[in-house]
Amino acid sequence: MRFSVLSLIGNAPHPLTGQRAPAAERLADVVEVAVAAERLGFDAVAVGERHAGDFLSSSPAVVLAAIAARTSRVRLLTGVTVLSVLDPVRVAEEYATLDQLSQGRLELVIGKGSEAGHFGLYGLDEERQWDYLAEKYGLLRRLWREEDVSWSGEFRPALGGVTTVPRPFAGPPRVWHGSATSEISTELAARYGDPLFTANAVQPRAAYVRLVDHYRQRYADHGHDPAHAYLGAGSGGLYLADTTAGAIARYGPLYEARVRQAFKPELVGKPGYNTPFSTIEDAVAHGPALIGDPQRVIDKILDFHVSYRHDLLSLTVDGLGLSRTEQIETLHRFAEEIAPTLRREAPTSLWT
pLDDT in tens, 180-237: 999 999 999 999 999 999 999 989 999 999 999 999 999 999 999 999 999 999 998 9
Q: What's the one-letter identity of residue 132? A: Y
- Residue 217: what pLDDT? 98
- Residue 273: what pLDDT? 78
Q: What is the CATH number of the domain that holds 280?
A: 3.20.20.30
The number of domains in the chain is 1
**3-state SS of the chain: helix, strand, coil percent to 5?**
45, 15, 40
Closest CA to 211 of 227, 241, 234, 228: 234
- Residue 197: what pLDDT? 98
Query: Do the beta carbons of residue 334 and residue 301 sit within 8 Å?
Result: no
Please check whether residue 278 lies inside any domain of the structure: yes
DSSP helix/strand/coil, 153: coil
Provide the residue range defining the domain that includes 294: 2-345
- Residue 270: what pLDDT? 76
Please check whether residue 351 lies inside any domain of the structure: no
- Residue 117: what pLDDT? 80
Nearest 5°: phi and psi at 151? -155, 150
Please check whether residue 350 lies inside any domain of the structure: no
Please check whether residue 352 lies inside any domain of the structure: no
Q: How far is CA 44 from its chain centroid?
A: 11
- Residue 158: what pLDDT? 98
**Residue numbers of the chain with a pLDDT score lower than 50:** none
In this predicted model, what pLDDT tens digit does every residue of 236-274 receive, in sequence order?
A: 899 999 999 999 999 999 999 988 888 878 777 777 777
Nearest 5°: phi and psi at 225? -70, 115
- Residue 53: what pLDDT? 85
For residue 206, what are the contacts with CB-CB under 8 A and spacing of at least 6? none
Angle between helices 23-39 and 324-337 (to 10 degrees): 20
